[in-house]
Amino acid sequence: SQELEQSPQSLIVQEGKNLTINCTSSKTLYGLYWYKQKYGEGLIFLMMLQKGGEEKSHEKITAKLDEKKQQSSLHITASQPSHAGIYLCGADRLDSGGSNYKLTFGKGTLLTVNP
Amino acid sequence: GAVVSQHPSWVICKSGTSVKIECRSLDFQATTMFWYRQFPKQSLMLMATSNEGSKATYEQGVEKDKFLINHASLTLSTLTVTSAHPEDSSFYICSAYGLAGTRETQYFGPGTRLLVL
């Protein structure tokens, strides 16, 4: 089963609209990362969240990590065509042995912003 | 679906030795491979981008003579950490981009954890 569930898988919005992307884990997250990617390009690091309840903002993008540290949401305010791309959440989780952190990714959310 | 594999998943080596990590795209031809490194509690850091058949483009601060990248085929890229030292211990992950049929595809490998003693 997918360790990190992202929703929605794809999203089409009109320019200027707000939107939210969610990343849910069934286990406690020790570090949650949000990245943006375009096909054929490398990842762009957006934000890292570590503490339950933490919220960070960068320009018009805000990310939160819920108190129980099992879900994060990425919110874009007044979306623009430049926001289009694939948004990926990544998380540090302890491996089955409980001694090493393992990086896993969600499947990504494809965002299209129509002008 | 398309899958990207990495080998080995775990490697422990002595300081001064070289380690090769393989990244393979299993269901599609990867025209571009990205290599990343992640230190504990930090985000992924892009090390280099390689297009099949050409030299890799390294990010600023990444030593190309230390991290040798080869992308000789459309399904295989290798990262060789030469003369590894303890500070090279990290999690290395590749991402492969290409076409699966006519559809753009980009996937991450499962990563390789390197520990240099």
Where is mean pLDDT largest: A75-84, A97-106, B24-33, B108-117? A75-84
Predicted confidence at residue A100, as pLDDT, reads 65
Q: Which residues contact A41 (CB under 8 A, 6 or more apart)?
A: none
Distance in Å, alpha carbon of A109 to nearest chain B alpha carbon: 13
Q: How does pLDDT run across A50-60, given as a tens digit for each residue?
A: 888 899 998 89
Confidence of residue B30 (pLDDT cuts 50, 70, 90): very high
Predicted confidence at residue B14, as pLDDT, reads 96
Which of B41, B106, B113 is opposite residue A31, by nearest beta carbon? B41
Check B34 against A45: CB less than 8 A apart: no
Distance in Å, alpha carbon of A15 to nearest chain B alpha carbon: 24
Can you say whether the dihedral through the CA atoms of A100, B7, B35, B69 is positive or negative?
A: positive
Report the 3 state secondary structure along A38-106.
Answer: CCCCCCEEEEEECCCCCEEEECCEEEEECCCCCEEEEEECCCCHHHCEEEEEEEEEECCCCCCEEEEEC
Residues from chain B that touch A92, judged by Cβ atoms under 8 A, are 41
Q: What percent of chain B has pLDDT over 90?
A: 69
Predicted confidence at residue A8, as pLDDT, reads 96
Cα radius of gyration rounded to whole Å, chain A? 14
CA distance A6 to B17: 40
Q: State yes or no: pLDDT of A2 exceeds 60.
A: no
Confidence of residue A95 (pLDDT cuts 50, 70, 90): low
The token pair at A57 is 């903002």
